[in-house]
Amino acid sequence: MSPLLRFMTSRTWLVALAALLVLVAINWYLQPNLMTPRVVRSNLSVFLPVALVAIGQTYVILAGDIDLSVGAIVSLVNVIVVSLIASFGGDVPGILGAMAIGVGVGIACGLVNGFLVAVLRLQSIVSTFATGIVFGALALLVMPTAGGSVPSVYWRSYGGTLGGVPVIYWIYGVSLLMVAFIAARPFFKHLAAVGGHRAASFQTGLPTTRIRIGAYALCGLFSAFAALCLTGETASGDPLLGQALALSSILAVVVGGTALAGGRGSAFGSILGAIVVGTISNVVFFARPPFEYQTLIEGAITLAALAGGVLVARGRRTQ
Amino acid sequence: MSTALIRNPLVLAFLSILVILAAGEIISPGFARGDQISKLLTVSAILGIVAAGQCLVVIGGREGIDLSVGVMISLGAVLAGNVMSGSNGAIAPAFLVAGGATFLIGIVNGLGVTFLRIPPLVMTLGMTGVVQGGLTVITRGIPSGNAAPALMSFVNEPLFLGLPGILFIWALIGVLMWFLLRRTDLGYAIYAMGSNERAATLVGVPVRFIRVLLYGLSGLFAGITGVLVIGYTGNSFVSVGDQYMLLSIIAVVIGGVSLNGGTGNYFGVMLGAIALTLLQSVLTTLQLESWGRQLTFGVVLVLLMLLYGRSKRQRV
């Protein structure tokens, strides 16, 4: 195999990147102001929560499982953080404390999922659907209806700049660093091993149970990050905030070239996948098809992108 | 022997039904009355019929699952409502149009899964978006169409022995599913490919053809369910089927069908559908806050799965 081909086949996200470039070109043609800093920033801040959840979802999927409860985790963390900030009095230490607790809640939810799936050996699709119901119920307990608000310092900082660079770009940057850090750890190789050949990795002595729990905990962590961002975006609490995120994160992961069967893929691809899925929406919107055809066209392009992501992930498998 | 009996999913599902019924009767006397039970069975039938298709797809293996049944139910309901527009003469065409459309959508799912080898979860999730779009095109977001009176009374009113007609349809489907799975070559082929696709291919089972057919059947059952749903409610709305998507999978799992494929039968799924419906209904009569109802539902689901939804332990 030529070095170029090897480079390409070992990076399943390249096709997502190619799709993204094409989509951005079309989007730019349809929406001439696309590349102005303001529009780029607003688009990227819309894509950020899905991208964060998709990063977490990637680790779970790499290990051969799936997490349908991420949307409920996002809602739960959102209402907990908003309520805690209010009860802590709304000053900066209180806000930071509430955010830390929110992150802890996200990780705890992930640990519960990991326990059910890896220790009690429940099937991940149905058990994370059930835990999603439970987390959603807890969110309703904390805050029965949408409401509350966070102090302006929270959403002003989220929407503001730090050192001249918008805060959301810092969040993208830090997330990319975390993704790179995790990808460089042995843990990441173990994840892929557990997802690709679970029996073999068990037989070679990998702690498969602990690895799968770790993946769910990471997923809970990144879902909590997404919740903190959404809280900055909406500046209030909503027990149903995350509803659509489970399915859209899976879309992003698959479009990003991660194999749903586990074992192959990257969280970087999922970030690209989230941006691709979001850009598809934008392109369809700015192409101005008849109103009633918008969802259909969006659905068809998304299905094509999904098929593309799957074929890429598999193309590598047959090498 | 006795533990084998307790481990039997059919026995477990049946016991859970009795427990939930008893709980319902204690919480609100009259819960287990005959006419109440017939109402609950009607709701169970709707879930049970869509779960029939889901069950076939799951038994057929290769991580078989159909996430598009929810939108296909909605599509079936909208199509049937528009074909019937309240006229009794158009009931048969309504079934044909709704079932035909969703059968074809299912076939497309099956083709994507077998020939493009897209994982079923991804293919049917993607198809969900497409069908959703199709629904918007048909309805322009405004619900339209309504059920024929004869269909509504068939679903809601006692027909024979005090039971509505839909229950006899469900029983018929139960017998047909049993016959298909246990008394035909096709049925054995479905189990064979579900437990070991390679072996099934090597002994000459037309695995691809059967898998496409299974997704088609799942679509067909969803379409029929859609017609029955509009018969139950009278008119349709665009998201009428959404709730059935994951419920049908749960009914399959607590009915003792492993999501790994190759095992289980439809009687278990029928009992699973009844248990789920009863559970939801008991929780409604409990007059809890919505969080309490949801929390109990989630916890009971986990407990039910712990009883028999577990995978095998890893061994060296």
In the predicted model, is pLDDT for residue B284 greater than 80?
A: yes
Q: What is the CATH number of the domain that holds B61?
A: 1.10.3470
Q: Return the higher-pLDDT residue of A263 and A82.
A: A82
DSSP lists the bridge partners of residue A122 as B310
Residue A166 DSSP one-character state: E
Q: Cβ–Cβ of B132/A302 closer than 8 Å? A: no
A-chain CB neighbours of B309 within 8 Å are 122-123, 126-127
Taking the CA of residue A10 and the nearest CA in chain B, the distance in Å comes to 20
Q: Which residues contact A104 (CB under 8 A, 6 or more apart)?
A: none
How many residues in chain B? 316
pLDDT of residue B163: 84
Taking the CA of residue A85 and the nearest CA in chain B, the distance in Å comes to 22
Within-domain flag for B227 = yes
Q: What is the pLDDT of residues B286-295, one digit of tens each?
A: 777 888 888 9
B-chain CB neighbours of A253 within 8 Å are none
Token pair 């996948």 is found at: A273
Q: Hey, is the C-beta of B117 within 8 angstroms of any chain A C-beta? A: yes
- Closest-CA residue of B relative to A122 is B310
DSSP lists the bridge partners of residue B89 as none
In the predicted model, is pLDDT for residue B141 greater than 80?
A: no
Alpha carbon distance B29, B290 (integer Å): 22
- DSSP sequence for A57-92: HHHHHHTT---TTHHHHHHHHHHHHHHHHHHHTS-H
Q: Is B302 exposed, middle or buried (0-12, 13-18, 19+ CB in 10 A)?
A: buried
Within-domain flag for A1 = no
pLDDT of residue B53: 95
Number of A:B CB contacts under 8 A?
152
- Closest-CA residue of A relative to B259 is A123
Alpha carbon distance B251, B269 (integer Å): 6
Alpha carbon distance B67, A66 (integer Å): 14
Residue type at B155?
Answer: V
Within-domain flag for B311 = no
Confidence class of residue A247 from pLDDT cuts 50, 70 and 90? confident
Residue ranges of B 207-246 with Cβ closer than 8 A to chain A: 246
Q: What is the pLDDT of residues B17-70, one digit of tens each?
A: 888 888 888 887 877 777 788 888 999 999 999 999 999 999 998 889 999 999
In the predicted model, is pLDDT for residue A319 greater than 60?
A: no
Q: What is the number of domains present in chain A?
A: 1
Query: Is the Cβ–Cβ distance between B264 and B59 less than 8 Å?
Result: yes
- Closest-CA residue of A relative to B121 is A260
DSSP lists the bridge partners of residue A165 as A162
B-chain CB neighbours of A132 within 8 Å are 298
Q: What is the number of domains present in chain B?
A: 1
Q: What is the pLDDT of residues A37-80, one digit of tens each?
A: 889 999 999 999 999 999 999 999 999 999 999 999 999 999 99
H or E element, residue A39: helix A37-62
Within-domain flag for B314 = no
Taking the CA of residue A138 and the nearest CA in chain B, the distance in Å comes to 7
Taking the CA of residue B74 and the nearest CA in chain A, the distance in Å comes to 15
H or E element, residue A93: helix A92-114
B-chain CB neighbours of A202 within 8 Å are 314-316
Within-domain flag for B107 = yes
A-chain CB neighbours of B303 within 8 Å are none
Beta strands in chain A (DSSP E): 161-162, 165-166
- Closest-CA residue of B relative to A300 is B130
> What are the phi and psi torsion angles at A161 (to 5°)?
-125, 160
Closest CA to A113 of A155, A151, A68, A158: A68
Q: Hey, is the C-beta of B116 within 8 angstroms of any chain A C-beta? A: yes
Q: What's the 3-state SS for chain B?
A: CHHHHHHCHHHHHHHHHHHHHHHHHHHCCCCCCHHHHHHHHHHHHHHHHHHHHHHHHHHCCCCCCCCCHHHHHHHHHHHHHHHHCCCHHHHHHHHHHHHHHHHHHHHHHHHHHHCCCCCHHHHHHHHHHHHHHHHHHHHCCCCCCECCHHHHHHHHCEEECCEEHHHHHHHHHHHHHHHHHHHCHHHHHHHHHHHCHHHHHHCCCCHHHHHHHHHHHHHHHHHHHHHHHHHHHCECCCCCCCCHHHHHHHHHHHCCCCCCCCCCCHHHHHHHHHHHHHHHHHHHHCCCCHHHHHHHHHHHHHHHHHHHCECCCCCC
- Closest-CA residue of B relative to A130 is B298
Q: What is the pLDDT of residues A128-187, one digit of tens each?
A: 989 999 999 999 999 998 888 889 999 999 988 888 899 999 999 999 999 999 999 999
In the predicted model, is pLDDT for residue B4 greater than 70?
A: no
First to last CA, chain A: 10
Mean pLDDT of B174-195: 93
pLDDT of residue B192: 93
H or E element, residue A21: helix A13-30
pLDDT of residue B314: 64
The tokens describing A318, both together, are 């047959």
Q: Is A260 exposed, middle or buried (0-12, 13-18, 19+ CB in 10 A)?
A: buried
A-chain CB neighbours of B136 within 8 Å are 292-296
In the predicted model, is pLDDT for residue B142 greater than 80?
A: no
Range of the domain at B72: 2-306
Residue B203, number of CB atoms within 10 A of its CB = 10
Q: Cβ–Cβ of B121/A250 closer than 8 Å? A: yes
Q: Hey, is the C-beta of A296 within 8 angstroms of any chain B C-beta? A: yes
Average pLDDT value for chain B:
87
The segment with the largest mean pLDDT, out of A94-108, A276-290, B226-240, is A94-108
Alpha carbon distance A179, B59 (integer Å): 37
Q: Cβ–Cβ of B136/A134 closer than 8 Å? A: no
Residue A157, number of CB atoms within 10 A of its CB = 14
Range scoring the smallest mean pLDDT among A109-113, A313-317, B146-150, B205-209: A313-317
- Closest-CA residue of B relative to A260 is B119
Taking the CA of residue A276 and the nearest CA in chain B, the distance in Å comes to 15
Q: Cβ–Cβ of A296/B134 closer than 8 Å? A: yes
Residue ranges of B 282-301 with Cβ closer than 8 A to chain A: 289-295, 297-299, 301
In the predicted model, is pLDDT for residue A196 greater than 70?
A: yes
DSSP lists the bridge partners of residue A161 as A166
Range of the domain at A42: 6-317
Taking the CA of residue A121 and the nearest CA in chain B, the distance in Å comes to 5
Q: Hey, is the C-beta of A248 within 8 angstroms of any chain B C-beta? A: no
In the predicted model, is pLDDT for residue A199 greater than 70?
A: yes
In the predicted model, is pLDDT for residue A318 greater than 50?
A: no
pLDDT of residue A2: 65
Q: Hey, is the C-beta of B63 within 8 angstroms of any chain A C-beta? A: yes
The segment with the largest mean pLDDT, out of A30-34, A103-107, B22-26, B302-306, is A103-107
**ipTM, 2 dp:** 0.85
Confidence class of residue A238 from pLDDT cuts 50, 70 and 90? very high
Average pLDDT value for chain A:
89
For chain B, what percent of residues have pLDDT higher than 70?
A: 95
Longest dimension (CA), chain A: 62
pLDDT of residue B255: 85
For chain A, what percent of residues have pLDDT higher than 70?
A: 95
- Closest-CA residue of A relative to B126 is A303
Q: What is the CATH number of the domain that holds A65?
A: 1.10.3470
Longest dimension (CA), chain B: 64
Alpha carbon distance A38, B18 (integer Å): 61
Mean pLDDT of A7-23: 80
Q: What is the pLDDT of residues B250-266, one digit of tens each?
A: 899 888 888 888 888 89
Residue A237 DSSP one-character state: B
Q: Hey, is the C-beta of A198 within 8 angstroms of any chain B C-beta? A: yes
Give SS3 for A165.
Answer: strand
Q: Cβ–Cβ of A299/B112 closer than 8 Å? A: no
